[in-house]
Amino acid sequence: MSTITTADVPVGDHRFHVHETGDSSSEAVLWLHGSGPGATALSNWERVIGDLSGDLHNIAPDVIGFGDSSHPDPPPPTAADFTQLRIDTLIGLLDELGIARAHLVGNSMGGIIGLGMALQHPDRIGRIVLMGSGGAPVPPTEDLLKLVTYYDDPTVEALADLMRAMTHDPSQLGEDLEKIAESRMERIQRPEVRRSHLATFAHNLPGLYEPEQLAGLRNPTLVVHGREDRIMPLAAGHYFAEHIPDAQLYVMPNAGHWAQIEQPERFAFVVGAFLTGRI
């Protein structure tokens, strides 16, 4: 596993906290994390971006409004506005890094943002991996609503309950799950993190993609979904596989919403093979 380097990158009035692995001369991959309370790039991707550093230049930013990236004050007024800001600033991040075109891996909310980037800037995005992605017209699950409304009762117990809902078998992660929960709790208490979380879901869940929109995608796409996902049900994965032209679907057994954390080696193998054109 290679060393993860970290830097802050200004983009206009905003600032990204960015983690990278691999050689900058390799094909670039932008890794976009999900939206749980206290979520960061490393909490989503630390287990896999090191393993894939031999073939790829991996770029994993804290998305604007998360972690140690900047938090707009005031934030955009609606969830849709915040999603658009994130799309725009991520394209700006690629510009700042001198990357003309990048593959993309999006988890949950990261999939919503990534699809927006590909639809609005098709020349900038190569292959796409959607993992437990939002953006499908499926009814919100009880556990997704717990994520959205976490700040109604922002306790350690509520966070632990949410973390367990992210996984198929929490006991497999052992102390790792506790480590994730502890690191998130520190961030959750920051007022700017709370402000951004509430704005992310203001007035509605972040965007949905209609079949006619998805039909316009020309990017090779792999849909990865945990079979036991309680946050974003498997029906969402089937929806994307059905409506994105020539998309491939990989259903990961014994995995929930955090397939990349529960099954990091399998996830890295499948996603790495797809991103490098081997499947």
Q: Among residues 35, 43, 108, 133, which one is catalytic?
A: 108
Q: Is 62 a catalytic residue?
A: no
Half-sphere exposure (Cβ direction) of 255: Cα atoms closer than 13 Å? 21
CB atoms within 10 A of CB 11: 21
In 3D space, the residue among 46, 40, 44, 116 whose CA is nearest the CA of residue 79 turns out to be: 116
Q: Is 229 a catalytic residue?
A: yes
Per 3-state DSSP, the chain is made up of helix, strand and coil in percentages (nearest 5) of 40, 20, 40
Q: Is 243 a catalytic residue?
A: no
CB atoms within 10 A of CB 163: 18
Angle at Cα 76 formed by Cα 148 and Cα 87, nearest 5°? 85
Q: Report d(CA 138, CA 131) in Å as an integer.
A: 16
| DSSP-assigned letter for residue 8 | E
Catalytic residues: 108, 229, 257
